[in-house]
Amino acid sequence: MHAPRRRALIGLLSLSLVLSAQAGIAGSATAADAPAGAAASATRAASAFTASPKPTIAGALRVGSTLTAVTGEWAPKPTTFGYRWWRDGVAIAGATGSTLKLTAADAGARIDLTVTARRGGYASLARSSGPTTAVA
């Protein structure tokens, strides 16, 4: 077996090292011979959700009713969801919870919902329900 070869890079101002890993296989990496004062950092690309269903809206579409966001089964399970409700394509002020009480301002409008899933190490992902039929 050969000993690893090392080579000094005089005047090196920056160095990028790309590592790849395979699931179930252990690995390690070592940075050696860095110039004095050099800093090392590593970043990992965010993972993606493997299941991200389109949210649905539950409830009666009439003034005075409460609509509820139904997020579906995501994989992996998000740690939090963010919500944004829309009236005819315009964000409804303050409507950022999992429910929306329909008011007179909603009469005749189509309601839409955007759900944003968040989990550490994963890219946030927003999904839209698409507009409902008009509120009665």
Characterise 121 by phi-psi region: left (phi > 0), alpha (psi -120 to 50), beta (else): left
49-106 per-position pLDDT tens digit: 999 999 999 999 999 999 999 999 999 999 999 999 999 999 999 999 999 999 999 9
Structure confidence by residue, pLDDT tens digits, 20-65: 444 444 444 444 554 556 555 556 788 999 999 999 999 999 999 9
- What is the pTM assigned to this prediction? 0.68
21 and 96 Cβ atoms separated by less than 8 Å? no
Supply angle C-alpha 5, 6, 8, rounded to 5.
155
**Looking at residue 63, what is its pLDDT?**
99
List the domain boundaries for the chain. Answer: 56-128
Fold of 56-128: Immunoglobulin-like (2.60.40)
1 by DSSP, 3-state: which?
coil
Q: According to the model, what pLDDT value does residue 43 have? A: 61
